[in-house]
Chains A and B, each alone.
Chain A
Amino acid sequence: MAHFDKAMPFSNKWMDQRLAVNTLQRVLSTEYWIPKNINFLWAMGMILAATFGILVVSGIFLLMYYVPDASNAAAFDSVNYTIMSEVGYGWFWRHIHGVGASLVFLIIYIHMFTGIYYGSYKRGRELIWLSGMGLFIVFSAEAFSGYMLPWGQMSYWAGMVITNLFEGATPDVLGGALNFPHFVEWLRGDYVPGQAFLGRFFMLHVLLMPLVIMGLIVLHFGTLRIPHVNNQDGEEIDFEESAALWKAGRKKEAKVIPFKPVFLSKDVFVMGVYFILFFYLVFYHFEFAMDPVNFDPADPLKTPTHIYPEWYFLWSYEILRPFSKNVGLIWFAFAQGILMALPFLDRSPNVAPANRRGLFGIWFWLLLIDMITLTIMGKLPPTDPTFAMIGKVAAITFISLWVVLPFITMIEKPVGGKK
C-alpha cells in the first residue's frame, strides 16, 4: 500500500508520491547515459522527433481547412485557395508541412547511413534497426498518402501508377497465381482513383499512419534502452562503471554523459543549425518540395509527360523501372525488404566504423553512391538511352551489393573496438 505524507498539492513531494516524477526524471533523462564519444550525427534522432512534431502541429492546422472531396477540384482548391489565400498564415503551415515532409526523409537517410557506417545494428542493437526500418516504411506510407491529398495531377497519376503495382505479375506467370487484377479495384474502391480512393488515403494520412508512427517511435526509443547508443568507435562501454565515475564527479574519466543536460545541450545546438536550414527553405526555397506538376488539378484525361515520385522514393522506383514488368516487381519487392535484413546479412562480429572494416568500407561507400545514382536516374527521363543504361547498371549493382554482403563480411578480419 502506497504511503502518502502530507504535502503541498502539486509540490515536488506531492507529485512524486503520486506519479514518481523524480524516478521518471532520473530514469528517462538525468541518469539516461549516452556515450561521450559521439559527433553531431548522433543528434539526428532528436531532429527527427522534432521534425515529426512540427509535421503533426502543421498538419493539425491544415486539417482544419482541408476538404477531402475529389469532385470539381474541391480538394485541390481547399489546399491551393482556401489554405494559401484565405486562411491567415495558411501558406506558412503548408510550406512547413511540405518542406518538413521532404527534410524528414533527408534526415532519415542520414540517420540510416550513420547506423550502417558505425555498425549500430548488431550486437544487441538488431531491434533498433528493425524498428527504425519499420518507421521508414510507415513514414513512406504516410508521405505517399499525404501526397495524394492536394489532388493535383501528380497526386492522381502517382496514385494510379502505384496502385497499379498491386495488380502483381502478368497472368502468364505461374498460371496467374501472382496476378491479382481485382485487388487494384478493391484497393481504390473504384476503377480509377476517385472519391473512395481520396477518402481512404485521407484517413490513412491523418489517423492510422500517424498513430502507428507514434507507437513505433516509442518502441524505437525502447529498443535503445538495454543495448545503449553506439559510439564513434564501436567501443563496448561498461555503462554502470562509467556512470558511477560521472556521479562521483570524475567527468573527464567517465565515458558517458547524462542525456539531460549534457547530451541535450548538443542536440539542441544541432537542432538550431537544422532549423536555420529548415526555415530558410520554408521561406525562400520551398519549390523543391512542391512539384509544379501538382499545381495542375487532377485530370483523368491528361497524363503528364513525366510521372515520377518524390525524391525519397526515386531509388526504389529506379529498381522497378529498368526491367520488364515481372522482373521489375521482383527486384522492387527485394529492395523494399532487403534493408530490413541488414543485421542478419552482415556476418562479421565487428562493431566499428566502416572505414576500419576493409571490404565493408568499400561496400558502404558503393551503396551510398549507388543509391544516389539510382535516385538521380529515377527522375531523369528513361527515354534517353544513356540514363536508362546507367539506371539499369545501378539497379543491378544495388542487388549485387546485397548478395555479396554476407560473403565479404564472413571473411572480415576482427577489428579492435578502439583504434
Chain B
Amino acid sequence: MKELKILAVVIFFTLVTYYGVEPYAHHQMHKKVDAQGNEIVYESQDFKYPDLKAVTVKGDAAAGKAMISACTGCHGIESQKMQAPMDASASAGAYGVNPPDLSNAGAVFDEKFLVNFIMNPTHTAMVEHKFKEGSGKTYPMPVVAPDPQTAANIVAYLKSIAPKELTPKEAFVAACGRCHADRYGKWTQLGDVPKTKPNITTHQDPEMLAFKMKVANYQDSLAKYMGKLPPDLSIMIRARSEEFMEHFIENPQSQLPGTAMPRVGVSKEGFEKVVAYLEETGDPSKPKRQAVGPWVLGFFFIFTLLAYLWKQAHWRDLH
C-alpha cells in the first residue's frame, strides 16, 4: 500500500511537469492574440472557404472547353495534349513562378475556390497585400472571366478532365510542388530528380549538374518572386503540427500574417492527400511503428508478469 502511495506521488509530480512543459507551454507559445491581448481561437473551416461567394450557377463543361484557350495562353494541360507555351524555367523568369499545369486542378482544388479564383485571383488567393496598387508588382494571373457563369464553365471543364482519384504525390505536385521542393521525396520545383550516372572515367555527372543548374535558376526567380525560397517540405510534417498545417493551408494569413504563401484552395480531400504525401516522405515509419508496437509492449507485459512472480517467490517469506 505504502509503495502505491509513493508511486502516486511520483506520477502526480511527473504529470504536472509534463503538462506544464508540453501541452500547456506549446499552447502558450503558439497562441494568437489580438491587440488587447485576448486569445484568438481559429475555427477550422473544413476547407469550405465560407468567406468566398457561393456558386449559384451551374457550369457547362462543353462551354468551358470552348474557351479554354483563355487559360492555355499561359497554362499547359498535359493530359489533353496541350503544352504550356513556355517551359517551367522560362515561365519562372517571366512570372516569378511557373503557371501550373491544369490536368489535375479539378481533382485537388475546391470547386468554389476555383470559380472565385478565376473571377478575382488576388483576393481569393489572399495575396492582395503583396500586389497593392503602387507596389509596382502585378499578380501573374489576370482576371480572365469576371462573370460567374464563364468561370463556372471553365471549372466544370477542368473537373470533367480531372482524374477521379489522385495519388498523394500527384496531389502534392499539383498543390505545392511548383514552389516547394521535397528532397526526401526526390522532388524539385522542376520535377523529379532525374536518375543519372556519373562518367566512369571523370567521375563527373554533367547531366545532373545541368539539372541542378536549372533548379538553381528556377529557385532564384522563385525566391525573388516570393521574398524567400519557400521551404523544403521533406519533413515538415514533423516540424509543424498537423493542426497548424491544416489551418495554415486553409488560411495562411491567419497563422502567419503577411506571409507570401497564397491560399492555394485545396479541397478537404486534396488536403488529406497532400498530408498523406508529407507523411510518406517525412514520417515513413508510421505504419511500421503501429505494426511493431503491440508486439514489443506485449513482450514487456509478459516480462513484467514473470518478473513479478519471481519477485514474489523471493519476498513472500521475508516478513
By a beta-carbon cutoff of 8 Å, the part of chain A in contact with chain B is 36, 39-41, 77, 80-81, 84-85, 89, 91-92, 106, 110, 251-252, 257, 261-262, 265-266, 268-269, 271-273, 275-276, 279-280, 282-284, 288, 290, 292-293, 295-296, 305-306, 311, 314, 368, 372, 375-376, 379-381, 384, 387
Residue of B nearest to A302 (CB): B228
CB pair B293–A262 under 8 Å, yes or no, is: no
Contacts of B3 in A (CB 8 A): 39-40
Residue of B nearest to A306 (CB): B29
Contacts of A375 in B (CB 8 A): 17, 20-21
CB pair B317–A381 under 8 Å, yes or no, is: no
* Assembly CA distance A244 to B92 (angstroms): 88
**Among B25, B236, B281, B305, contact of A376 (Cβ-Cβ < 8 Å):** B25
Contacts of A295 in B (CB 8 A): 235-236, 238-239, 282
CB pair A85–B284 under 8 Å, yes or no, is: yes
* Assembly CA distance A380 to B301 (angstroms): 37
* Assembly CA distance A284 to B184 (angstroms): 23
Contacts of B167 in A (CB 8 A): none
CB pair B20–A379 under 8 Å, yes or no, is: yes
CB pair B2–A39 under 8 Å, yes or no, is: yes
Segment of B65-73, B129-137, B306-314 in the binding face: B306-314
Is residue B319 within 8 Å, beta carbon to beta carbon, of the partner chain? Answer: yes
Chain B interface category by residue count: 35 or more
**Among B283, B292, B317, contact of A283 (Cβ-Cβ < 8 Å):** B292
Beyond A80-B235, A257-B318, A372-B16, is A379–B297 a contact (Cβ under 8 Å)?
A: no
CB pair A268–B300 under 8 Å, yes or no, is: no
Contacts of B288 in A (CB 8 A): 89, 91
CB pair A372–B17 under 8 Å, yes or no, is: yes
CB pair A272–B238 under 8 Å, yes or no, is: no
Mask, B204-223, CB within 8 Å of A = 1, is 00000000000000000000
Contacts of B290 in A (CB 8 A): 283
Contacts of B293 in A (CB 8 A): 279, 283-284
Residue of A nearest to B25 (CB): A379
Contacts of B285 in A (CB 8 A): 84-85, 91-92
* Assembly CA distance A91 to B293 (angstroms): 13
Contacts of A269 in B (CB 8 A): 304, 307-308, 310-311
B308 CB, nearest partner CB in chain A, Å: 5
Q: Is the interface of B mostly helix, strand, loop or mixed?
A: helix
CB pair A261–B304 under 8 Å, yes or no, is: no
* Assembly CA distance A415 to B7 (angstroms): 25
Beyond A110-B10, A273-B304, A275-B303, is A376–B184 a contact (Cβ under 8 Å)?
A: no
CB pair B314–A381 under 8 Å, yes or no, is: no
CB pair B234–A81 under 8 Å, yes or no, is: yes
CB pair B21–A368 under 8 Å, yes or no, is: no
CB pair A265–B25 under 8 Å, yes or no, is: no
Q: A272-B305, A372-B17 are in contact. List 6 more A-B contacts (CB 8 A).
A: A77-B184, A252-B318, A283-B293, A311-B21, A376-B21, A376-B24
B residues 24-56 in Cβ contact with A at 8 Å: 24-25, 28-29
A235 CB, nearest partner CB in chain B, Å: 15
CB pair B318–A376 under 8 Å, yes or no, is: no
**A to B CB contacts below 8 Å, 14 in the list:** A36-B318, A77-B183, A276-B304, A279-B300, A284-B293, A295-B236, A295-B282, A372-B13, A372-B20, A376-B20, A379-B21, A379-B25, A380-B28, A380-B29
Contacts of B289 in A (CB 8 A): 91, 283-284
* Assembly CA distance A290 to B3 (angstroms): 32
CB pair B297–A272 under 8 Å, yes or no, is: no
CB pair A276–B307 under 8 Å, yes or no, is: no
* Assembly CA distance A292 to B245 (angstroms): 13
B3 CB, nearest partner CB in chain A, Å: 5
Contacts of B183 in A (CB 8 A): 77, 81
Residue of B nearest to A369 (CB): B13
A95 CB, nearest partner CB in chain B, Å: 8
* Assembly CA distance A276 to B293 (angstroms): 11
Is residue B18 within 8 Å, beta carbon to beta carbon, of the partner chain? Answer: yes
Residue of B nearest to A373 (CB): B20
Contacts of B303 in A (CB 8 A): 272, 275
**Among B20, B21, B238, B308, contact of A292 (Cβ-Cβ < 8 Å):** B238
CB pair A81–B307 under 8 Å, yes or no, is: no
Residue of A nearest to B302 (CB): A272
* Assembly CA distance A154 to B17 (angstroms): 21
B37 CB, nearest partner CB in chain A, Å: 9
B228 CB, nearest partner CB in chain A, Å: 9
Among A41, A275, A288, A290, residue most surrounded by chain B Cβ atoms (within 10 Å)? A275
CB pair A272–B315 under 8 Å, yes or no, is: no
A366 CB, nearest partner CB in chain B, Å: 13
B285 CB, nearest partner CB in chain A, Å: 4
A165 CB, nearest partner CB in chain B, Å: 21
* Assembly CA distance A292 to B283 (angstroms): 13
**Among B28, B235, B315, contact of A381 (Cβ-Cβ < 8 Å):** B28
Contacts of B241 in A (CB 8 A): 292
Contacts of A89 in B (CB 8 A): 288
CB pair B304–A272 under 8 Å, yes or no, is: yes
Contacts of B184 in A (CB 8 A): 77, 80-81, 85
Contacts of A376 in B (CB 8 A): 17, 20-21, 24-25
CB pair A314–B21 under 8 Å, yes or no, is: yes
* Assembly CA distance A92 to B285 (angstroms): 9
